[in-house]
Amino acid sequence: MMRRSWPVLAVVAVGLVPVLACRAHGPRLLHESDSQFNHLVVREEEDGARTLQFGRDGVIQSRVNPEDPLDLRLQYTRAAMLAWALVPSPRRVLIIGLGGGAMPRYFHHVLPGAHIDVAELDPAVHQVAERYFGLPTDERLEVHVGDGRAFVKQASQKWDLIVLDAYGDSDIPRHLATAEFLAEVKAHLSVGGVVSGNVWTRENNALYDAMARTWAEVFGGLCIVPIEDSGNRIFLASMGPKVSAESIRLGVQKIEPGFPVQAYVPRECSTDVSAEAQALHDP
């Protein structure tokens, strides 16, 4: 009887192996290196999406589908498209902070008539974005390696849409958050242009209230868009009329984002600015 039971046990055991292996499978490490500014970690998830982290246990900076530039995986990148809704046909777009390049790739695809500039401090991040995340390399998308503030200050052109995406959860480049820097950004917006910032909430960001105060003072108004179940907030300001929930709702009707961007339209623009907060200034 014992001999007859062996084949049955063997079949059961063999059947379990693939299941256990599947459950044990996690993100696959594709790249890990140190640069002058970051410890870069690139992983590939089970569904093929790729992530970029600064540090093995760092917050995911980018989650990208390298096969589809329209597939924005992170909530904040989708919500950031509300800025596009306010400027449906931008000719020039500037993004400060490259990461895995999700937003530059997206704009490159949906705005075939626009020129997209990206300012990125870390040359290694640029290399990783091209090698692992499918960042386009053509004349319409230009990456400028160096400090974003210096790039803006030295620029002669103006942009219709500027996206500030260089603020981390705990690493806030303070020189990219001061009134003096935002004044430079404002000076480089075209008439009716819009600036958007991806900012972590006060639970994660000790400078949140000061940043909100600074934006409100420099631009004369600020719309803060909350993102459900997210530690991010989208700051929106304009060189034209003040940004309102109504202007966002109307703008959304003019764009075709490929996902339900209406879900991110706020009922009202939050002005969650602490009365005690002081604006940030250069030393």
Which of the following is catalytic: 47, 57, 165, 209?
165
In this structure, are residues 80 and 257 in contact, taking their beta carbons and an 8 Å threshold? no
SS3 (DSSP) at 209: helix
Residues 6+ apart with CB under 8 A from 163: 80, 83, 93, 94, 95, 96, 103, 195, 196, 197, 198
In this structure, are residues 62 and 101 in contact, taking their beta carbons and an 8 Å threshold? yes
Torsion over CA of 50, 78, 59 and 39, rounded to 10 degrees? 60
Overall residue count recorded for the chain in this entry: 283
- Residue 12 carries which side chain, given as an amino acid letter? V
Gyration radius of the chain's alpha carbons: 22
Q: Is 71 a catalytic residue?
A: no
Each residue of 39-72: b (16+ CB within 10 Å) or e? ebbbbbeeeebbbbbbeeebeebbbbbbebbebb
SS3 (DSSP) at 14: helix
- Residue 213 carries which side chain, given as an amino acid letter? R
Which positions are catalytic? 165
